[in-house]
Amino acid sequence: LWDIRSGKQIQVFNGHTSYVYAVEYSPFVIKNIIGNSNVICSGSEDNTIRFWDIRSNKKQLYMIKGDENEDFGIYCLKFIGLKKKDKTKDVKYDWNLCYGSVNGPIRIWG
């Protein structure tokens, strides 16, 4: 993670075991002891998508494994808001993660 004002690296997130092809800023915020934390996720050739709290240098928050028989690595990812059929607690959209794999399938997770 780089600070664009100073041009300096401020954090490193370790966990993937191969090349990272995609990073996406998450539209949701998690609440924890420290307060609100923003989340990014990364997709890798190691066939995983990992979620990171950008305000801490701690381990990953969560990991999704791609399909071992079909995906062979995560090539791109994007959060998409799908409109809900029914309004729930003033929430009009569900956030889902759409990702593409090296082998071709496109999947929606959420």
Domain residue spans in the chain? 17-109
Distance CA(95)–CA(83), nearest Å, equals 9
Tokens 């990992």 correspond to what residue? 50
pTM score: 0.77
Q: What digits encode the pLDDT tens for the residues 42-58?
A: 999 999 999 988 877 66
Q: What digits encode the pLDDT tens for the residues 51-98?
A: 988 877 667 888 999 888 888 899 999 988 776 666 666 655 577 888
Under 8 Å between Cβ of 74 and 106: no
Contacts of 78 by beta carbon, 8 Å cutoff, 6+ apart: 24, 97, 98, 99
